[in-house]
Structure formats: structure tokens, C-alpha cells
């Protein structure tokens, strides 16, 4: 007689694909040296493949940067929308957005650096896509801020959101604390700047 276990272990995490590994490695290299300071050969060597083999996954180094920055902009927006939808009210939604953005910034320091410094190196089509996604993300925050602060117009709410991003995105340059206390500090400061009480 076979006895089945009632508790099952969580499913193992899916290992990253080669494409995802290349993007992660490229983010580290671009953050350390700048986009123009990294060659295809450098990137291939860091990934354990030859430079020409890289072209099996991406048509060019520009395509690596484009997918990197478009994908993070899409992820910020998609998860941000999910957090807002799951929140009971506007203050809770802002708290959830702050929590999400801090988590992202602390986990993806190299991407924050690359986004800030190598934006102008994006191909024009990718730059417009990133702009569009980022406008949607800003407006997601602005909509919730206007529900909390009735006196805010859309431009003021967008400015407030951008100010919060600047505070949180400073972590790659100034984050001298371990991640957990840094997370708590950023949450406290961001919510204070946005005029939203910390519900935790």
C-alpha cells in the first residue's frame, strides 16, 4: 500500500535560459564599463561562448541593450498594475507600488545604472517603446497619488512619482546598508515624501 504525502514541496525554480543569462551578464558588464566599453567578444567571453555564437541569440549588441531595457520597463508596469489591482484602496496601492519598486531596484542594481547612463545608446524604436512603457508606469503611480491628494493635478502627480523614483533609484550609487535595512529605510522615506502613512 502506497501512502501519498499530503504536503508537496514547492516546485523548483525554472533555471534561466541562455538568453536570460546573456541579458543578466550584459547588465553587469554594461553597468561596470558602459555600453560602449563592452565589445561583443567581451560579452561572449563573460557568458562562456564565443562572440559569433552570441549572434545565435541576439542580432547585435544594440539588440541586447534594447531587450534589456524594454523588458524591465514592461516588468515594472505589469507587476505594478497587478499590485494596484490587488490593493484595497489608494494608500494601499501606493504602498504596494513603493514596495515593488524598491524590491526591483535592490535586486537589479546594474539595470538601474544601465537605464540611467546608457539610455541614449538605445535604438530609436526601442527608445520609443521604453518611453511609452515608462509613461504608463508613471501614470499608474500618478492616478493613485491623485486619489490620495485631491489637490494634485496630473502634472503634479507625475512630478511626485518621478521624485520618488529618483529617491529609490539612487540605491545603486548610495546603498551602503545591507538590503533589508536599506529596503526599510527607502520605504519609510518614499512613503513620507509621498504623504502616505506606512500601513505595516
pTM assigned to the model: 0.85
Average pLDDT rounded to a whole number, residues 51-56: 81
Percent of the chain with pLDDT over 90: 65
172-195: burial string, b at 16+ Cβ within 10 Å, e else: beebeeeeeebbeebbeebbeebe
**Is 141 inside any structural domain?**
yes
**Is 36 inside any structural domain?**
no
**Is 95 inside any structural domain?**
yes
**Is 182 inside any structural domain?**
yes
**Is 158 inside any structural domain?**
yes
pLDDT by residue (tens digit) across 105-141?
Answer: 999 999 999 998 898 899 999 999 999 999 999 999 9
108-120: burial string, b at 16+ Cβ within 10 Å, e else: bbbbbbbbeebee
Average pLDDT rounded to a whole number, residues 11-26: 79
**Is 87 inside any structural domain?**
yes
Domain with 80, as residue range(s), is 61-194
**Is 50 inside any structural domain?**
no
The answer to whether residues 66 and 117 touch, using CB atoms and an 8 Å cutoff, is: no
**Residue 150: which CATH number?**
1.10.357.10
pLDDT at 174 over 80: no
Q: How far is CA 104 from the centre of its chain?
A: 5
pLDDT of residue 171: 75
In the chain, the number of structural domains is 1
pLDDT of residue 3: 39
pLDDT at 152 over 80: yes
Angle at 110 between CA 83 and CA 63, to 5 degrees: 90
- Can you tell me which residue has the cell 502613512? 197
**Is 135 inside any structural domain?**
yes
Average pLDDT over the chain reads 88
Amino acid at each position: 500500500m502506497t501512502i501519498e504525502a499530503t504536503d508537496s514541496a514547492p516546485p523548483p525554480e525554472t533555471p534561466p535560459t541562455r538568453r536570460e543569462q546573456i541579458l543578466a551578464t550584459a547588465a553587469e558588464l554594461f553597468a561596470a564599463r558602459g555600453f560602449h566599453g563592452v565589445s561583443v567578444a567581451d560579452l561572449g567571453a563573460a557568458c562562456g561562448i564565443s562572440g559569433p555564437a552570441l549572434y545565435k541569440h541576439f542580432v547585435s549588441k544594440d539588440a541586447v541593450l534594447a531587450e534589456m531595457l524594454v523588458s524591465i520597463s514592461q516588468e515594472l508596469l505589469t507587476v505594478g498594475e497587478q499590485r494596484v489591482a490587488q490593493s484595497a484602496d489608494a494608500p494601499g496601492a501606493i504602498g504596494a507600488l513603493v514596495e515593488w519598486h524598491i524590491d526591483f531596484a535592490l535586486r537589479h542594481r546594474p539595470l538601474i545604472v544601465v537605464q540611467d547612463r546608457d539610455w541614449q545608446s538605445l535604438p530609436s524604436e526601442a527608445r520609443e517603446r521604453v518611453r511609452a512603457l515608462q509613461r504608463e508606469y508613471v501614470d499608474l503611480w500618478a492616478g493613485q497619488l491623485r486619489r490620495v491628494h485631491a489637490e494634485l493635478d496630473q502634472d503634479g502627480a507625475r512630478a511626485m512619482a518621478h521624485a520618488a523614483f529618483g529617491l529609490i533609484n539612487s540605491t545603486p550609487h548610495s546603498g551602503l546598508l545591507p538590503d533589508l535595512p536599506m529596503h526599510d529605510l527607502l520605504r519609510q522615506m518614499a512613503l513620507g515624501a509621498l504623504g502616505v502613512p506606512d500601513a505595516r
